Structure 1
Amino acid sequence: MTGEERAPQEERGSPLGRYEPHDDATTDGATVHVVLRGLPVQVWLASREHHDDLMREYRLLALAGDLEAHHAPARLVELVEILGQRYAAAASRRDEELEAALAAGLAVIDQESDVTPAAVGAVRELRRLMAESDRFCEEAQLLTLPRPPVVRDFGEWFLDEFERQLEGHAPTPWDGPLTP
């Protein structure tokens, strides 16, 4: 999808979705052009589905209320507050781009985004939150299954690319499997 005229980020959604910082006071309007080269469409779909399942579970736990009364670990209670309440609202994301790639039968695409430099903090926070969520999934403290290894590797690559490129480094293409 490179070479196309880029729509403004707010019109096509952020690849960071609900985690994209929205505090315009911290930026001067500057953005960094981030390119995800060789983004594997099927793995991206599996990653999105796992993330949606996890967020749905966090939202349900947040709605259930007093987790401490059910002896939930303190950090799980905090994650429910962060992911089930603070980040619970749906946000614009790049679903239309994924759906178009799937419909066209593409195995990989290049995804381009203009992201504010402040997003590096959101990327680091999301990495930490996902690692903690993985641990709770692995310990069966959540109903959501752990991320399969390729989905976990994809998530790390995805976040690494944002962090690296926001720090001024060149894109590194995905070199893992094209299917989950």
Structure 2
Amino acid sequence: MPLNRPALSLGAGPRSVQDARRWVVATFVDIGRSDLVECAEMAVSELVTNALLHGAPPIRVRVRGTREHPRIEVGDGSTEAPALPAPPTGDDLDDLLTFGRGLSIVARASDAWGADIEDEGKTVWCAPAAEFAEDDGAEGIITGLVGGNGQQGGDQPADPMRFRLLNVPVRDYASFYNHFRELRREVRLLAMAHEADYPLAKDLADVFAQLGRPLTLGAMRDEVGRAQEEGLTHTDLEVVMGRTEARGVRRFVELLDLTDAFAREEKMLSLARTPEQHTFQTWFLGEFVRQADGGEPTAFPTSTGSEQRRSSVS
């Protein structure tokens, strides 16, 4: 059963650690995972403490994943990657159960943990273990916009091509952008923590790694934001992508359809796309494939001529 519960927003004071701990414990009991409560409580205490000490607001905690594989996520507004300190040398467990001792406690309380960094902040997550580890625990993994430069990877494609996207409905693109980012983050975490149970996640994560920057970041996203601020319903966009990458979008479309099928069967956390989202994404992503194969740009069809539109394509 997927866990799509709303996040708990936290303040800047020490009481937030207590609030988060109680909320996570109640959530794990509610989903029937009392076996993970002890490690979940220790882990979320440290995650929230680190967010308060080293992160930036807004700070929030969520329980995501599925009942079989629940995951704690603590998000904040900083893009600085967390650093795992040297593991403790003492053998006394009581020495570890204090706040501010770093993410080594999270590592020992988790089957997997890491940080996922986006341009708007980071999420530090963990999959609580059934027992606190006697050794150093799980190794943390940093993913996303590593380096804090706002670019994923940053390498220019070997065969760049300029794609023109005409009459893009700004609301549909904004919905696609949010869905893309959420699904990208979800499949990255599933692939790292539970690849054997979610083989589709690994395939999707590899494709997202190739397409994340050109499809959702930079000038195209900013242009849609400006169009929304001006009250426009449609706009023209352009994006530079490698021709080979663009042709690979065809595989991405197939994987999205497969993801929808899994979502309807509650095998994936993300919700299946609505018919409107499917229609837009089929056109939007299909334009990259068609133009990479030599086709001319085709505008998104509209039912009326009343849309407000601005052209940003020269």
Q: TM-score, normalised by structure 1?
A: 0.68
Give 1:117 deviation, angstroms.
2.2
AA partner of residue 298 (structure 2): T
* CA distance in 2: counterparts of 1:34 and 1:88, whole angstroms: 20
The equivalent residue for 2:166 is: 37
Greater Cα shift, 78-87 or 143-152: 78-87
Is 1:49 equivalent to 2:178 in the alignment?
yes
Per the alignment, in what secondary structure is the counterpart of residue 179 of structure 2? Answer: helix
The equivalent residue for 2:289 is: 163
Q: State the percentage of identical aligned residues.
A: 28
Give 1:21 deviation, angstroms.
9.2
Q: Show the 5 A alignment for 1:120-135.
A: 120-135=246-261
* CA distance in 1: counterparts of 2:249 and 2:273, whole angstroms: 18
Give 1:59 deviation, angstroms.
2.4
Structure 1 residues 23 and 99, CA, compared in 2 at 3 Å: closer, same or farther?
closer
Consecutive unaligned residues in structure 2, runs of 5 or more: 1-150, 308-314
Count of matched residue positions in the alignment of Structure 1 and Structure 2: 148
Give 1:130 deviation, angstroms.
1.2
AA partner of residue 87 (structure 1): F
Q: Show the 5 A alignment for 1:92-111.
A: 93=217, 94-111=220-237
* CA distance in 2: counterparts of 1:147 and 1:170, whole angstroms: 27
Structure 1 residues 126 and 22, CA, compared in 2 at 3 Å: closer, same or farther?
farther
Give 1:135 deviation, angstroms.
1.4
Are the aligned partners of 2:204 and 2:252 in contact in 1 as well (CA < 8 Å)?
Answer: no
AA partner of residue 79 (structure 1): L
Are the aligned partners of 1:32 and 1:117 in contact in 2 as well (CA < 8 Å)?
Answer: yes
* CA distance in 2: counterparts of 1:166 and 1:33, whole angstroms: 9
The equivalent residue for 1:13 is: none
* CA distance in 1: counterparts of 2:245 and 2:201, whole angstroms: 22
* CA distance in 2: counterparts of 1:120 and 1:163, whole angstroms: 6
The equivalent residue for 2:274 is: 148
* CA distance in 1: counterparts of 2:207 and 2:250, whole angstroms: 17
The equivalent residue for 1:91 is: 213
* CA distance in 2: counterparts of 1:63 and 1:85, whole angstroms: 12
* CA distance in 1: counterparts of 2:207 and 2:164, whole angstroms: 28
Are the aligned partners of 2:224 and 2:235 in contact in 1 as well (CA < 8 Å)?
Answer: no
Consecutive unaligned residues in structure 1, runs of 5 or more: 1-16
* CA distance in 2: counterparts of 1:96 and 1:141, whole angstroms: 34
* CA distance in 1: counterparts of 2:236 and 2:191, whole angstroms: 36
AA partner of residue 78 (structure 1): P
Are the aligned partners of 1:62 and 1:80 in contact in 2 as well (CA < 8 Å)?
Answer: yes
Q: Show the 5 A alignment for 1:1-80.
A: 24=158, 27=159, 31-65=160-194, 67-68=195-196, 72=197, 77-80=198-201
* CA distance in 2: counterparts of 1:147 and 1:173, whole angstroms: 22
Give 1:147 deviation, angstroms.
0.6
* CA distance in 2: counterparts of 1:23 and 1:78, whole angstroms: 28
Structure 1 residues 23 and 44, CA, compared in 2 at 3 Å: closer, same or farther?
closer
Give 1:23 deviation, angstroms.
5.6
Structure 1 residues 55 and 160, CA, compared in 2 at 3 Å: closer, same or farther?
same
Structure 1 residues 21 and 130, CA, compared in 2 at 3 Å: closer, same or farther?
farther
Give 1:44 deviation, angstroms.
0.7
Structure 1 residues 122 and 139, CA, compared in 2 at 3 Å: closer, same or farther?
same
Structure 1 residues 43 and 170, CA, compared in 2 at 3 Å: closer, same or farther?
same
* CA distance in 2: counterparts of 1:107 and 1:85, whole angstroms: 33
Are the aligned partners of 1:42 and 1:107 in contact in 2 as well (CA < 8 Å)?
Answer: yes
Give 1:22 deviation, angstroms.
5.8
**Radius of gyration: which is bigger?**
2
Provide, for residues 10-41 of structure 1, a one-character-per-residue CA deviation record: whole Å limited to 9, x for no partner: xxxxxxx97x99662xx4xxx43321110000
Using CA pairs below 8 Å that are at least 6 residues apart, which structure has the higher relative contact order? Answer: 1
User: RMSD value over aligned CA atoms?
Assistant: 2.9
